[in-house]
Amino acid sequence: MTQKTETNEFQAEVKQMLDIVIHSLYTEHDIFLRELISNSADALEKFRHQQLVEDEVFDPGASLEINITFDDKEHTLTITDSGFGMTKEELKKNLGTIAHSGSKNFLSAISEAAQKDVSLIGQFGVGFYASFMVAKKVRVLSRSYRTDEEGYEWSSDGTGSYTISPASGLHRGTKVVLELKDDCHKYADEYTIKNIIEQYSNFVPFPIKVNGGTVNTVQAVWTRSKNEIKDEEYDEFYKFISNAADDPMLRLHFMADAPLSIRSLLFVPQENFEVLGLGRLDPGVSLYCQKILIEQHSNNILPEWLRFVKGVIDSEDLPLNISRQALQDNMLVTKIRKVITTRFLKFLAETAKKDTETYEKFWKTFGIFLKEGATQDFTHREAIAKLLRFESSSSEPGQLISLAEYVERMNEKQEEIYYINGPSREALENGPYLESFKQHDLEIIYALEPIDDFVFSHLGEFDGKKLVSADRADLKLPETGKEKKEDKADGKDLDKPVAESLLKWMKELLGDRVKEVKSSDRLVDSPAIIVNPDGFMTSSMERIMQVQGKEHSISAKNLEINTSHPLIAGLADMRINDENFAKNVVEQIYDNALIQAGLMVEPRNMVARSYEILERALQK
C-alpha cells in the first residue's frame, strides 16, 4: 500500500460554512456531540439495513454500537462507530463538499442568518462541521462495510483544506478524533460527556458506551412495532422519561407514515402534580427526529393545555438541526401538533366509550386541562366538548354525564342546553335557579367549577344546541307539557297595581345596584332571584374576575321577584305600615339573592340588619 497523502481544498461552500461555524458560532457548543452521535447512529442504521440486503459485509461480527473515549492528557475526544463507514471517495464527497441540493441558497441563507443573529444559525444543519466549534483538528478514520475497500484517514484543521491518506488496521465504521481547542478541554471528561448524552441522545437505538460503560439505558421504544413491546417495557420507559415511581394511567402509542411520518408514545400519569401544589407543569413531551432529541420538554409540539401528557414524538420529516426558535413557527411542527392532538383526543374518546371507569378517573384528575383547552383551543374545541363531563339534575350525586347524553334525552320541545354554576350540588339544588327547571321537568347541568362558565361561553353551542346559563335574564324555558303546577308556592299573586308599585319602590331603594326589578315567572319557592341582563357574562364569571383582582366591578343585575310568595305579600303590607323596616327587608332579600348567585356581599352590614329583623320576628 502506498502511504500517499493527498491534500484537497474544501469546496468553497464548505469553507464558507466552516468560517461561519468557527467564527460566528452558536453558543450551544454541546450540540457538536449530538451531531456526531447522530451521524454514527445513522451510519449504524444504514449498515443494519445493508447487512440485510447484501451477501457479504466487512467485519460482520462487530457489534453495532457507539464508543466514546478520551485522553485528558492529550485533550482528545474520540467517537467510534461500527456503522456503514466511508470509502475514500465518500470521505471526499461527504466531508469536503456540501451535499445539500441548492447549497448556494443554503449558504447565503446561513451567512445572512449569521450576520443578523448568531443564534439563528442553529436552525441550519451544520452536522459534522460542528466539530470545529470545539476542535482545532479533526481526524476521521473510516473503513467502509464493503469488503473490497480499504481504510482511510481524513484530517483537517478546518481552515481551507484537508488531507486524506490510507490507514491500516481499521475495523468497519468510523472513528472521529477531536483534538480539543484550549478552551474546550472540558469535553475530554467522562462526566461532561455522559451528561450531554443523557440530555440529547439517550434514546439512540444503539448502545453508547463511554469508557466502556453503556450510558443510554433506554431504547427507542416508540419506534418499535406495538406487538413487540411488553406492557412492562412501556411502563419502564414511562418511568424513565417522567421520573415517576408508578405506572401510567393511560398510554397511546401512535404511528403514522403518511402524510407525515410520526412515531409517538404518549402517557397520562396517575397524578395531576399541578393540583398537588407543585406549580405549573412544564410540558412533558420531547421532540425527536430519528431518535435524536430535537427539543426536550417541548413547548411547541403539543398545545399548552396538554402539558400533563408525558412522552416522545418523533418525526423524521423534521430537519435534525432545527433550532428552538425555528420550531415555534415551523409549518411541519404545526401540522404534527394538529395530527397528534386530534389523535390524542380521539384516543380519549375511545377510552371513554370502552372503559368508562378509567375515563372517569382520568376526567377527575385531568379534566381541568381539557376545560382549559376548551377555552383556549379553537381548533380542537369540538372534540374537547365531547369529552367534557358534568353532574346534572338527572344524574345521581357523583355520577357524570356527557353533553351528548344530555342532548340525547332533551325534551322534544327543548332547543337549548341549560347549565348553572354553583359551589356544590346541594347549594344549587336548594337555590332559586333550579326551581323553574324542576317545574318544567327539564334537565340542567351543574357547573361546579369556576372555569365551567368560561368553557360553556367559549363553546357557545354543542351539537347545534346553544349553551345557556340559567341565570340569564332572558331565559325562556319551553312548555314541555310536563309542568308540575302543584309545586307552586300557595301564596296568591299580588294584585297587579300593588305589585307594580312595590317593584318600582324596590328599584328606587336599590338604585344603581340593580338594573331592573321585575316580576318573575321562573320562581316557585324562593321570593327573589338575581339574573344577568348581560347575555355574555354569568355571575360566576364575574366573581372569578373579581377574585383574580382583574379590574372588574360587578355589573348591575336584574332582581326578579316572586309576587306570589307570602314574604313578598307581607312586604307589600309592611311598606305601608313601617316603611323603614320594609326597607331593611328589601336590603336583606337583595343580599340573600346575591349570595345565592354566588356574588360577594359585605357580610358585616348584613349581620346588623339580620339581628334587627330577628328581633322584630321575636317580638310579640
534/527 Cα distance (integer angstroms): 22
CA atoms within 13 A on the CB side of 418: 26
CA atoms within 13 A on the CB side of 154: 26
Position 39 contacts ligand ADP (CB under 6 A): yes
> Which of 17, 21, 37, 43 touches ligand ADP (CB under 6 A)?
43
Position 188 contacts ligand ADP (CB under 6 A): no
State the nearest-atom distance from the C-beta of 35 to ligand ADP, in Å.
6
State the nearest-atom distance from the C-beta of 146 to ligand ADP, in Å.
12
Q: Is the peptide bond before 259 cis (omega within 30 degrees of 0)?
A: yes
Beta-carbon contacts of residue 337 (< 8 Å; ≥ 6 apart): 300, 301, 302, 303
State the nearest-atom distance from the C-beta of 96 to ligand ADP, in Å.
10
Give the binding range for ligand ADP (CB under 6 A) out of 34-42, 101-109, 263-271, 594-602. Answer: 34-42
Given a contact cutoff of 8 angstroms between Cβ atoms, the answer to whether 334 and 137 are in contact is no
State the nearest-atom distance from the C-beta of 130 to ligand ADP, in Å.
8
What are the grid coordinates assigned to 603, written together? Answer: 357580610
CA distances from 196 to 31, 41, 77, 201, 422 (A): 8, 16, 14, 8, 51
301/332 Cα distance (integer angstroms): 10
Window 58-97: residues binding ligand ADP (CB under 6 A): 81, 83-86, 94-95
Spacing of C-alpha 115 from chain mean position: 35
Position 14 contacts ligand ADP (CB under 6 A): no
Position 323 contacts ligand ADP (CB under 6 A): no
- In terms of CB distance, is 97 or 610 closer to ligand ADP? 97
State the nearest-atom distance from the C-beta of 140 to ligand ADP, in Å.
8
State the nearest-atom distance from the C-beta of 95 to ligand ADP, in Å.
6
Specify the residue for cell string 478546518: 158
State the nearest-atom distance from the C-beta of 1 to ligand ADP, in Å.
22
Position 40 contacts ligand ADP (CB under 6 A): yes
CA atoms within 13 A on the CB side of 463: 12
- In terms of CB distance, is 196 or 221 closer to ligand ADP? 196
- In terms of CB distance, is 16 or 596 closer to ligand ADP? 16
For the stretch 564-571, contacts whose Cβ atoms lie closer than 8 Å and that sit 24 or more positions apart, written own/partner, are: 564/488, 564/489, 564/491, 564/492, 564/493, 564/494, 565/489, 565/491, 565/523, 565/525, 565/526, 565/527, 566/489, 566/491, 567/527, 568/491, 568/494, 568/502, 568/527, 568/528, 569/491, 569/492, 569/494, 571/502
- In terms of CB distance, is 40 or 539 closer to ligand ADP? 40
What are the grid coordinates assigned to 452, written together? Answer: 365551567
> Which of 72, 78, 128, 360 touches ligand ADP (CB under 6 A)?
128
- In terms of CB distance, is 200 or 238 closer to ligand ADP? 200
What are the grid coordinates assigned to 600, written together? Answer: 360577594
State the nearest-atom distance from the C-beta of 255 to ligand ADP, in Å.
24
State the nearest-atom distance from the C-beta of 99 to ligand ADP, in Å.
6
Number of residues that bind ligand ADP (CB under 6 A): 17
Give the binding range for ligand ADP (CB under 6 A) out of 32-40, 112-120, 199-207, 557-565. Answer: 32-40
> Which of 122, 124, 127, 238 touches ligand ADP (CB under 6 A)?
127
State the nearest-atom distance from the C-beta of 80 to ligand ADP, in Å.
9
What DSSP state is assigned to residue 532?
Answer: B
173/85 Cα distance (integer angstroms): 4
HEC states along 354-421?
HCHHHHHHHHHHHHHHHHHHHHHCCCCHHHHHHHCEEEECCCCCCCCEEHHHHHHCCCCCCCEEEEEE
- In terms of CB distance, is 53 or 617 closer to ligand ADP? 53
C-beta nearest to ligand ADP: residue: 127
- In terms of CB distance, is 94 or 562 closer to ligand ADP? 94
State the nearest-atom distance from the C-beta of 100 to ligand ADP, in Å.
8
Position 149 contacts ligand ADP (CB under 6 A): no
Residues found in the chain: 620
Give the binding range for ligand ADP (CB under 6 A) out of 18-26, 120-128, 235-243, 594-602. Answer: 120-128
- In terms of CB distance, is 99 or 607 closer to ligand ADP? 99
What are the grid coordinates assigned to 241, written together? Answer: 422519561
Q: Which of 394, 427, 431 is nearest to 531 (CA)?
A: 431
113/119 Cα distance (integer angstroms): 8
Per DSSP, the residues of 93-111 read HHHHS---TTHHHHHHHHH
- Edge-first strand order for the sheet with 465-469 is 401-402, 389-392, 445-447, 416-421, 465-469, 461-462
Position 106 contacts ligand ADP (CB under 6 A): no
Given a contact cutoff of 8 angstroms between Cβ atoms, the answer to whether 81 and 43 are in contact is yes
Other CB atoms within a 10 A radius of the CB of residue 54 amount to 13
Window 425-484: residues binding ligand ADP (CB under 6 A): none
State the nearest-atom distance from the C-beta of 66 to ligand ADP, in Å.
9
Window 159-178: residues binding ligand ADP (CB under 6 A): 174
Position 151 contacts ligand ADP (CB under 6 A): no
State the nearest-atom distance from the C-beta of 132 to ligand ADP, in Å.
11
- In terms of CB distance, is 81 or 587 closer to ligand ADP? 81
- In terms of CB distance, is 94 or 539 closer to ligand ADP? 94
Contact footprint for ligand ADP (CB under 6 A): 35, 39-40, 43, 81, 83-86, 94-95, 99, 125, 127-129, 174
